[in-house]
Amino acid sequence: MAYAFRAATSQGNASGGALTVTKPTGTVDDDLIVVVAYLESDTNTWASVGAGFTEDTGANIDNTGAFDMRVWWKKASGEPASWTWTPTTNNWRTVVCCSFSGTLGTAGGRVDVRATGQADGATTFSCPTVTTTVDNDLLCAYVGNFGGGAYGYTSGPANTERIDFGGLTLYSLDDAGAAGVEAATVLNAGTQDYAGGQIAFKLDTGGGGGAATQVGWVGAGWW
């Protein structure tokens, strides 16, 4: 079973402190929850985030001098109705949250690959190419822009807009198919300062590690 988008929420898009991030409708145990946050400025940090979320530090990217972008994920398990994200210093912050059905991979790291980039004064932003190492990843493209403009889709594999809110967006390709090169996803929000990337999450194929074994009854013994 491949990943499938379930629901999305967005919150903030204003100056302030602690932010309540609402669980997307219908999220159930074993769903993959992805949270992407935009925070001004590039030197600000998050003092605390929702319990049990793992930050993929490789997906962090700043737009120098303007804002900070981060990605967290979690395999849902008895989740509350909401979580709280608190910046170290109150400032402009925007958070989007998406849930996907399917079972997050359990072995060898749950994020397969990621790549990030930033651009200043550009008319489009290219979320960099990644090369997935396993089949059927969930590919997400995430971008923030300083001006808060809404995005249009230009090209690339992550071609479905899940949420676009206050200059922060997440597009996805729920089943990236066979492992290999996933081209850049290019989005546009007018002339802006941008930062973002592409991140691929592994799908749990049900294996627990090691080769499959067979047991059968043949004649007088087991083989």
Partner 1 sequence: MAIVTKVLGEFNGGLVRFEYDYDNNDLRVRAFRCVNNSTEAAYGQITRTSDGASHDLRFAPGTTQINIPTAPNQRVQLTLRPDGKLDGAELHLAWPYP
List contacts with partner 1 (CB under 8 A): 7-16, 19-20, 22, 24-26, 92, 146-150, 153, 160-167
Please check whether residue 198 is in contact with residue 158, taking contact to mean a CB–CB distance below 8 angstroms. Answer: yes
Please check whether residue 66 is in contact with residue 47, taking contact to mean a CB–CB distance below 8 angstroms. Answer: no
Q: How far apart are CA 30 and CA 215, in angstroms?
A: 30
**What is the closest distance, in whole angstroms, from the C-beta atom of residue 148 to partner 1 in the complex?**
4
> Which residues are paired to 127 by β-bridges?
185
**What is the closest distance, in whole angstroms, from the C-beta atom of residue 21 to partner 1 in the complex?**
9
φ/ψ of 127, rounded to 5, equals -75, 120
Q: Is 213 exposed, middle or buried (0-12, 13-18, 19+ CB in 10 A)?
A: exposed
Q: Which two tokens stand for residue 189?
A: 């929000």
Of 26 and 207, nearer to partner 1 (C-beta) is 26
**What is the closest distance, in whole angstroms, from the C-beta atom of residue 1 to partner 1 in the complex?**
20
Of 20 and 131, nearer to partner 1 (C-beta) is 20
H/E element, 185: strand 185-201
Of 24 and 156, nearer to partner 1 (C-beta) is 24
Of 20 and 77, nearer to partner 1 (C-beta) is 20
**What is the closest distance, in whole angstroms, from the C-beta atom of residue 167 to partner 1 in the complex?**
8
Of 100 and 115, nearer to partner 1 (C-beta) is 100
**What is the closest distance, in whole angstroms, from the C-beta atom of residue 10 to partner 1 in the complex?**
5
Q: How far apart are CA 149 and CA 165, in angstroms?
A: 9
Give the count of beta carbons closer than 10 Å to the beta carbon of residue 10: 20
Q: Which residue's entry shows tokens 């998406």?
A: 98
* Helices and strands of the chain, counted as H and E runs: 0, 19
Of 61 and 66, nearer to partner 1 (C-beta) is 66
